[in-house]
Amino acid sequence: MVAEDRINMDIYKVVTRAIASSDNLEDMATQLTQLLVGALGIKGSTIFVLNPATEELEVLASFGLSINYMNKGPILVKKSLDHQLRGEPVVIRDVTKSDRLQYPEDAKKEGISAIVSLPISLHGKLIGVLRLYHYEQWDVSERDLDSLVIFTENIGLALMYTRLLQALKSVKETVDEVHPIWLD
């Protein structure tokens, strides 16, 4: 059976505009998760950033998942769909038939049947992960997967852009604190 394309040009435009139009990273990320859930008709979506020191995926934004599921425990990149490190998207069409989940029981309780996980990379390095959760089994089409990969590339750029903006603001605050008397 050929998988159905869900991402059309309208969805593509809406999501891309959402990424490009905000200078607040958390709002952008949250709205992006909302848009993906709304546009694809899925259960939930989460954007994680990778903590390189602990190899833990930290939630940056999420939509559609319960508080209990979000607090299920630390998500370790090596235990949770570990091939993320190789930079390839992962599609778990049916979670009951997969042994790659770190918390399979929690996923079942949450009503998650399928997971699509996409690495967010910058200059070839993994900096985060976008995950989509569906309440039914999900065959993602090649075209949709391509579109999702492009979204994650844009998210990676947005992450770095907002990081640079934060750094610039910090520099400005420090400069603003310099008393004129020190410059005489």
Partner 1 sequence: MDTPKILLPYNFTSYDKKALDFVCLTFSDKKNAEVTLFNAYTPTPTIEMRGSPIMEQMKDNLSYLSQRVKEQEDALKTIKNHLLGKGFSADKIAIVFEPKKRDVAGDIIDLVKDGRFDVVVLNRKPGKIARFFAGSVSSKVVAALKNATVCIVS
Residues present in the chain in total: 184
H or E element in which residue 177 lies: none
Show contacts with partner 1 in window 49-78 (CB under 8 A): 49-54, 58-61, 63-64, 66-67, 70-71
Tell me whether strands 114-122 and 125-134 are parallel, antiparallel or unpaired. antiparallel
Return the residue of 125, 142, 166, 172 that touches partner 1, per CB under 8 A.
Answer: 166
* Of the candidate residues 11, 76, 145, 150, the single one contacting partner 1 (CB under 8 A): 11
The rounded distance, in Å, linking the Cα atoms of 173 and 99 is 49
What's the angle, vertex CA 154, arms to CA 81 and CA 147, rounded to 5? Answer: 70
- Least CB distance to partner 1 at residue 108 (A): 19
CB-wise, 75 or 100, nearer to partner 1?
Answer: 75
Q: Residue 55: which of 3, 102, 8, 4 has the closest Cα? A: 102
Q: What are phi and psi of 149, to 5 degrees?
A: -65, -40
Closer residue to partner 1 (CB): 30 or 152: 30
Binding site for partner 1 (CB under 8 A): 8, 10-11, 13-14, 17-18, 24-27, 30-31, 34-35, 37-41, 49-54, 58-61, 63-64, 66-67, 70-71, 159, 162-163, 166, 169, 173
